[in-house]
Amino acid sequence: MASVPRSFLLLSIIPTILLLCADFACCNTGRKTGDGLDTDFSGFSVPLEHSFEVDDVSRFRVRGALQLRGGRETSVSLSQSQLSEEDRNTLKEVAVVDGLYKIRVPRVSLTDRQTERQMDGYLTAFVRACSLVESHLSDVITLHTDVSGYLIGVSIVTIPGACRGTEVEDEVDLEAFNTTLTIIAPTNAPQPETALFIERMDIEHEKRGKPQEQKSFFAKYWMYIVPLVLFLMMSGAQDQSGGGAANGGGR
Amino acid sequence: IEPSAIMYKSTSLFVIFLSLFVVSEAVFEDQVGKFDWRQQYVGKTLFAHFDSHSQTSKKLFLATDKNIFASFNSRTGDLFWRHVDKAGPEGAIDILLLHGQDALMVVGDGRLLRSWDTNMGGLNWEAVLDTGSFQAACFVAIQDTVKHLAVLKNAAISLHYLTNGHQKWVENLPDRDTVQYQAVYSGGEEEIYVLGVVPNSHLTIIAYSLEDGEIIKQRSVEAPWLSSVESSCVVVGQGMLMCVDPGTLALYTLPIQAEETPQFSQTLLQSLDLEVSPGFQPVLVSSQPHPARSPISEFFLQLGPHHHVLLQLNGDGYTIAPLRDFQPAFLVSFATTGEKTVAAVMTPKNETACAINLFSADSGRRLLDTTVIFPLDLNGGKPHKLYVHAFLKKDDSVGYRVLVQTQDHALTFIQQPGTHTDTGTYTQTLEQLFGHNDHRYVWRKKGEACKPKNTIPTVKHGGGSIMLWGCFLFGIDSKSGSILWKHYLENVQPNAVFKLIVQRTTAHFPHPPQCTLLIKDKDTGLASLHVFNPIFGRKSHIALPVLPRPILQSLLLPVIDQDYAKVLLLVDDQYKVTAFPSTKNVLQQLQEMASSIFFYLVRSDQGNLSGFRLRKDLSTERIWEVVLPTDVQKIVAVNGKRPNEHVHSQGRVMGDRSVLYKYLNPNLLAVVTESTDTHPERAFVGMFLVDGVTGRIIHEAVQRKARGPVHFVHSENWVVVSSSCCSCSSCSSCSCCSSSNSSCCSCCSRSNSSCCSRSNSSCCSRSNSSCCSRSNSSCCSRSNSMGLPSGAILSLPKMFLDPRRPEVVTEHSREENLIPYAPEMPIRTEWFINYNQTVLRVKGIYTAPSGLESTCLVVAYGLDIYQTRVYPSKQFDVLKDDYDYVLISSVLFALFFATMISKRLAQVKLLNRAWR
- Asked if B84 and B791 count as a contact pair (C-beta separation under 8 A), the reply is no
Q: What is the model's pLDDT at position B404?
A: 85
Nearest to B825 by CA among B855, B844, B852, B797: B797
- Asked if B301 and B274 count as a contact pair (C-beta separation under 8 A), the reply is yes
Confidence grade of residue B862 (pLDDT, cut at 50, 70, 90): confident
Instruction: Give the whole-angstrom CA distance, residue B532 versus residue B450.
Output: 13
pLDDT averaged over every residue in chain B: 78
Whether B705 and B726 share a structural domain: yes
- Asked if B365 and B359 count as a contact pair (C-beta separation under 8 A), the reply is yes
Contact between chains at A186 and B702 (C-beta distance less than 8 A): yes
For chain B, the straight-line distance linking the first and the last C-alpha, in angstroms and rounded, comes to 65
Tell me the three state secondary structure of residue B909: helix
For B749, nearest residue in chain A (alpha carbons): A161
Q: What is the model's pLDDT at position B873?
A: 77
- Asked if B564 and B551 count as a contact pair (C-beta separation under 8 A), the reply is no
Instruction: Give the whole-angstrom CA distance, residue B446 versus residue B698.
Output: 33
A189 touches chain B (CB under 8 A): yes
Residue B802 confidence (pLDDT) above 90: no
Instruction: Give the whole-angstrom CA distance, residue B304 versus residue B311.
Output: 15
Contact between chains at A150 and B808 (C-beta distance less than 8 A): no
Mean pLDDT of all residues in B716-740: 59
Whether B430 and B461 share a structural domain: no
Contact between chains at B621 and A56 (C-beta distance less than 8 A): yes
Whether B641 and B592 share a structural domain: no
Instruction: Give the whole-angstrom CA distance, residue B503 versus residue B570.
Output: 14
Instruction: Give the whole-angstrom CA distance, residue B401 versus residue B385.
Output: 14
For A52, nearest residue in chain B (alpha carbons): B623
Residue A81 carries which side chain, given as an amino acid letter? S
- Asked if B774 and B617 count as a contact pair (C-beta separation under 8 A), the reply is no
C-alpha distances in Å from residue B387, one per residue of B104, B339, B377, B391, B816: 19, 19, 19, 13, 65
Q: Is residue B532 part of a domain?
A: yes
Confidence grade of residue B480 (pLDDT, cut at 50, 70, 90): confident
Nearest to B745 among A107, A150, A161 (CB): A161
Instruction: Give the whole-angstrom CA distance, residue B756 versus residue B653.
Output: 17
Q: Is residue A149 part of a domain?
A: yes
Q: What is the model's pLDDT at position A7?
A: 44
Whether B706 and B855 share a structural domain: yes
User: Could you tell me the CATH number of the domain that includes residue B467?
Assistant: 2.40.10.480
For A150, nearest residue in chain B (alpha carbons): B629
Contact between chains at A162 and B621 (C-beta distance less than 8 A): no
Residue B21 confidence (pLDDT) above 60: no
Neighbours of B3 (CB within 10 A): 7
Look at phi and psi of residue B200 and say left if phi exceeds 0, alpha if psi is from -120 to 50, else beta. Answer: left
Least confident of A29-33, A78-82, B153-157, B285-289: A29-33
Residue B543 carries which side chain, given as an amino acid letter? A
C-alpha distances in Å from residue B42, one per residue of A60, A213, B37, B74: 59, 59, 17, 15
Mean pLDDT of all residues in B551-576: 88
State pLDDT tens for residues B318-366.
788 888 898 889 999 998 887 888 999 999 888 888 888 899 888 888 8
Residue A87 carries which side chain, given as an amino acid letter? D
User: Could you tell me the CATH number of the domain that includes residue B715?
Assistant: 2.130.10
Instruction: Give the whole-angstrom CA distance, residue A194 versus residue B346.
Output: 68
| Half-sphere exposure for B375 (CA within 13 Å, toward CB) | 9
Sheet with B283-285: strands ordered across? B283-285, B298-304, B307-313, B320-326
Q: What is the model's pLDDT at position A6?
A: 46
A230 touches chain B (CB under 8 A): no
- Which residues 738-797 of B have a C-beta within 8 angstroms of A? 743, 745-746, 748-752, 758-762
Q: What is the model's pLDDT at position B419?
A: 38
Q: List all residues 6 or more positions away from B65 whose beta carbon is below 8 Å from its beta carbon.
A: B43, B44, B46, B92, B435, B437
Q: List all residues 6 or more positions away from B769 whose beta carbon is below 8 Å from its beta carbon.
A: B711, B786, B787, B842, B843, B844, B845, B860, B862
Mean pLDDT of all residues in B406-431: 53
- Asked if B698 and A142 count as a contact pair (C-beta separation under 8 A), the reply is no
Contact between chains at B623 and A119 (C-beta distance less than 8 A): no
What φ, ψ does residue B897 adopt, rounded to 5°?
Answer: -65, -40
Contact between chains at A196 and B824 (C-beta distance less than 8 A): no
Confidence grade of residue B451 (pLDDT, cut at 50, 70, 90): very low
- Asked if B686 and A186 count as a contact pair (C-beta separation under 8 A), the reply is yes
Q: Is residue A66 part of a domain?
A: yes
Ranked by mean pLDDT, the top range of A211-215, B297-301, B775-779, B817-821 is B297-301
- Cα angle B111, B116, B120 (rounded to 5 degrees) comes to 150
Neighbours of B680 (CB within 10 A): 12
Contact between chains at B686 and A147 (C-beta distance less than 8 A): yes
Contact between chains at A186 and B701 (C-beta distance less than 8 A): yes
Residue B893 confidence (pLDDT) above 90: yes
Query: Residue B232 carries which DSSP code?
Result: H
C-alpha distances in Å from residue A100, one per residue of A62, A125, B750: 17, 10, 16
Q: List all residues 6 or more positions away from B132 whose beta carbon is below 8 Å from its beta carbon.
A: B110, B153, B154, B155, B156
Contact between chains at A146 and B696 (C-beta distance less than 8 A): no
Q: What is the model's pLDDT at position B310?
A: 92
Tell me the three state secondary structure of residue A61: strand
State pLDDT tens for residues B655-671.
788 887 777 788 888 89
For chain A (251 residues), the mean pLDDT of every run of 10, in chain order, is 42 40 34 38 78 84 84 79 85 86 87 59 88 86 87 87 73 79 84 78 81 71 89 77 43 39
Q: What is the model's pLDDT at position B87?
A: 83
Whether B619 and B638 share a structural domain: no
Exposed, middle or buried by CB within 10 Å (0-12, 13-18, 19+), for B768?
A: buried
Instruction: Give the whole-angstrom CA distance, residue B539 versus residue B550.
Output: 23
Mean pLDDT of all residues in B727-746: 43
Confidence grade of residue B899 (pLDDT, cut at 50, 70, 90): very high
Exposed, middle or buried by CB within 10 Å (0-12, 13-18, 19+), for B310?
A: buried
Number of residues that make up chain A: 251
Q: How do A178-184 and A138-145 pair as beta strands?
A: parallel
Instruction: Give the whole-angstrom CA distance, residue B879 versus residue B872.
Output: 16
Q: Is residue A26 part of a domain?
A: no
Q: What is the model's pLDDT at position A249?
A: 40
Q: What is the model's pLDDT at position B456?
A: 22
Whether B789 and B738 share a structural domain: yes
Q: Is residue B177 part of a domain?
A: no
Q: What is the model's pLDDT at position A18?
A: 36
Per CB-CB distance under 8 Å, the chain A contacts of B627 are: 107, 121, 123, 152-153
CA–chain centroid gap for B599, Å, is 31
Q: Which of B383, B412, B447 is the last residue of a domain?
A: B447
A123 touches chain B (CB under 8 A): yes
Neighbours of B548 (CB within 10 A): 7
Q: Is residue A242 part of a domain?
A: no
Mean pLDDT of all residues in B672-690: 86
Instruction: Give the whole-angstrom CA distance, residue B108 versus residue B27.
Output: 40
Per CB-CB distance under 8 Å, the chain B contacts of A122 are: 625
Q: Is residue A137 part of a domain?
A: yes
Exposed, middle or buried by CB within 10 Å (0-12, 13-18, 19+), for B208?
A: buried
C-alpha distances in Å from residue B596, one per residue of A55, B425, B492, B557, B859: 17, 52, 35, 11, 35
Q: What is the model's pLDDT at position A211?
A: 56
Q: What is the DSSP string of B405-472?
A: EETTS-EEEEESSSS-----BGGGGTGGGGSSSS----EEEESSTTS-TT--GGGTT--EEEEEETTE
Residue B729 confidence (pLDDT) above 50: no
Confidence grade of residue B774 (pLDDT, cut at 50, 70, 90): low
Mean pLDDT of all residues in B256-275: 82
Q: Which residues of A218-248 are buried (b: 16+ CB within 10 A; e: fewer)?
A: eeeeeeeeeeeeeeeeeeeeeeeeeeeeeee
pTM, whole model, 2 decimals? 0.76
Confidence grade of residue B288 (pLDDT, cut at 50, 70, 90): confident
Contact between chains at A121 and B627 (C-beta distance less than 8 A): yes
Confidence grade of residue B679 (pLDDT, cut at 50, 70, 90): confident
- Asked if A128 and B746 count as a contact pair (C-beta separation under 8 A), the reply is no
- Which residues 135-154 of A have a C-beta within 8 angstroms of B? 140, 142, 144, 146-148, 150, 152-153
What φ, ψ does residue A17 adopt, rounded to 5°?
Answer: -60, -45
Q: Is residue B725 part of a domain?
A: yes
3-state DSSP percent of chain A in helix, strand and coil, to 5: 45, 25, 30
Q: Is residue A204 part of a domain?
A: no
Q: Which domain holds residue A177?
A: 44-184
C-alpha distances in Å from residue B283, one per residue of B46, B230, B245, B303: 18, 11, 9, 7
Mean pLDDT of all residues in B497-512: 82
Which of B634, B691, B696, B744 to mutate against chain A (most A CBs within 10 Å)?
B696
Mean pLDDT of all residues in B808-837: 81
Listed in sequence order, the DSSP H helices in B296-358 are none
Q: Which domain holds residue B489?
A: 450-544
Contact between chains at A144 and B700 (C-beta distance less than 8 A): yes
Q: Is residue B518 part of a domain?
A: yes
Q: Which of B603, B627, B651 is the last residue of a domain?
A: B627
Q: What is the model's pLDDT at position B94?
A: 92
Whether B728 and B596 share a structural domain: no
Q: Which of B427, B447, B467 is the last residue of a domain?
A: B447
3-state DSSP percent of chain B in helix, strand and coil, to 5: 10, 45, 45
Q: List all residues 6 or more positions away from B883 whose beta carbon is below 8 Å from its beta carbon.
A: none
Whether B651 and B742 share a structural domain: yes
Q: Which residues of B65-100 are buried (b: 16+ CB within 10 A; e: fewer)?
A: bbbbbbbbbbeebebbebbbbeeeeebbbbbbbbbe
Q: What is the model's pLDDT at position B904?
A: 96
- Asked if B447 and B853 count as a contact pair (C-beta separation under 8 A), the reply is no
Look at phi and psi of residue B418 and say left if phi exceeds 0, alpha if psi is from -120 to 50, else beta. Answer: left
> Domains in chain B: how many in total?
4
> Domains in chain A: how many in total?
1
A196 touches chain B (CB under 8 A): yes
Q: What is the model's pLDDT at position B741?
A: 40
Confidence grade of residue B766 (pLDDT, cut at 50, 70, 90): low
Confidence grade of residue B450 (pLDDT, cut at 50, 70, 90): very low
State pLDDT tens for residues B173-218.
888 888 899 999 888 778 899 999 998 888 889 999 988 888 888 8
Contact between chains at B684 and A147 (C-beta distance less than 8 A): yes
| Half-sphere exposure for B897 (CA within 13 Å, toward CB) | 5
Whether B576 and B560 share a structural domain: yes
Nearest to B532 by CA among B497, B568, B486: B486
Per CB-CB distance under 8 Å, the chain A contacts of B694 are: 125-127, 155
Whether B592 and B734 share a structural domain: no
Nearest to B176 by CA among B148, B146, B206, B149: B206
ipTM > 0.90 (yes/no): no
B613 touches chain A (CB under 8 A): yes
Q: Is residue B132 part of a domain?
A: no
Q: What string of H, E and C letters represents the secondary structure of B149-172?
A: EEEEECCEEEEEECCCCCEEEEEE
| Half-sphere exposure for B323 (CA within 13 Å, toward CB) | 20
